[in-house]
Amino acid sequence: MAATSTNQTLRQYYALSGVQLDFDSFDLGHGVVLSQTYLHVMSPPLIAFAPCSESKPHPTPWRTANVKPRHMEADLFAQLSVPRSYGSNEHYEWASWIVLLLRFANDVTVTLTLTASDTFNEVKEGKAAAYLLEDVPYIFEGTTIHQDEAEWLKANWHKSLPLRTDDTLSFALTSIYNSHRANEEFGVVSVWAALERLFSSNAVELKYRVCSNIAAFLEPPGQTRYLLFQQLSKLYDDRSKAAHGSPMKSATPYMDISSIASRAVLRIIELGRVPTKDDLERELFAPIYRSH
C-alpha cells in the first residue's frame, strides 16, 4: 500500500518549445498540469579533452565548437507535469499526445524539448538531470496558448488517447507533424500523403475524391464547401508540381494545406474516430445526417 502511494506522487516534467502561456498554471485533468517555466537551451556543443570518471563530468577545460547557422538557442516558457510510475512509459505517451494536439490546435511546431524526473528547479540546483529530447536545430519560436485553448485540450486529450493506436491516423499525424522539417516541396507532398490516407477510398479520380471528401468533412453544404473544394483542387495541383520536381515560388501552398490538414485532424479528434468510407459518402451525399 505504501509503495502505491509513493508511485502516485512520482512525476515527470517536460519543457516545451514553441509555445508560451497567458496563464500561470492549468489543470488538464488526470493529474497533468500545464504551467509556466523558464529555461534557456544553448546551442554550441562543448568539447572536453580528457575522459571522465564514472558518474562525473569531463574535467575542464571545456571549449565550444562552431556550428552551422541552422543551430540556434531557444527560450522555453512552458512545461508539462505528468504523473508517472516505475516501469511504465505512459507518462511519455501522454505528454507526446498532448503536445501533438497542441501542434494541430495552434498550428505551431511545439515539441517536447527537455525532460527531467524531478522539477527543473532541482535540475538548477544540481540535484537532478535534464535530458534533451529534441535536437536544438528543430526548436522554433511559437505562439501563445490561451485559456480557451487549454480548455479544449482538457476536454479532448484523454478521451482521444485510443486514437494513438489507429494506423491510418498515426501515419497521417506523423506525416503532417514532421512536414516542417523538410523544404516546402517535400512538406506539401508529405501533408497531401496524410490527407490521401485519411480521405481516399481508392486510386480512381484521386484528386476529385480526396478534395471533395475533405471539403464535405469540414464544411456544411453550400458556398463555403464549394469554395474549399476549389481551394483544395488548386492546392492539389501545387502538390503534383512539387512531387514532379517543380520548385515552389512561395511557402503559401504549404502553409494553406497544413492549416486545412490541422482542421481535419481536430475534427477527427473531436469526433473520436477516423471517418470510414461510409462516413465520407454520407457526408457528401446525405448531409442531413452530417456527423457532429
Rounded Cα gap, residues 156 and 242, in angstroms: 35
From residue 213, how far is each of 186, 207, 218, 233, 277 by CA, in Å?
23, 10, 9, 12, 10
Buried b (16+ CB within 10 A) or exposed e, 101-137: bbbbbbbbbbbbbbbbbbbbeebeeeeeebeebbebe
- pLDDT tens string 183-211: 888 889 999 999 999 998 766 678 999 99
Q: List, for the chain, all residue ranges whose pLDDT scores fall below the cut of 50.
A: 1-7
Q: Convert the pLDDT of each residue in 48-98 to its tens digit.
A: 899 888 878 888 888 887 766 556 678 899 999 999 988 789 999 999 999
d(CA 229, CA 223): 10
Please tell me the pTM assigned to this model. Answer: 0.80
The SS3 call for residue 47 is: strand
Q: What average pLDDT does the structure give for the chain?
A: 87
**Number of helical (H) and strand (E) elements in the chain, helices listed first:** 10, 10
Cis peptide before 61 (omega within 30 of 0): yes
Q: Which pLDDT score is estimated for 74?
A: 82
Query: Can you give the pLDDT at residue 286?
Result: 79
**Cβ burial, residue 78 (10 Å; 0-12/13-18/19+):** buried
All three cell numbers of 175: 506525416
- The span from the CA of 174 to the CA of 185, in Å, is 17
220-258: buried (b, 16+ CB within 10 Å) or exposed (e) per residue?
eeeeebeebbeebeebbebbeebeeeeebeeeebbebbb
Give 149's contacts (C-beta < 8 A, 6+ positions apart): 105, 106
Q: What is the dihedral of CA 115, 116, 119, 120, to 10 degrees?
A: -60
Contact 213, 219 (CB under 8 A): no
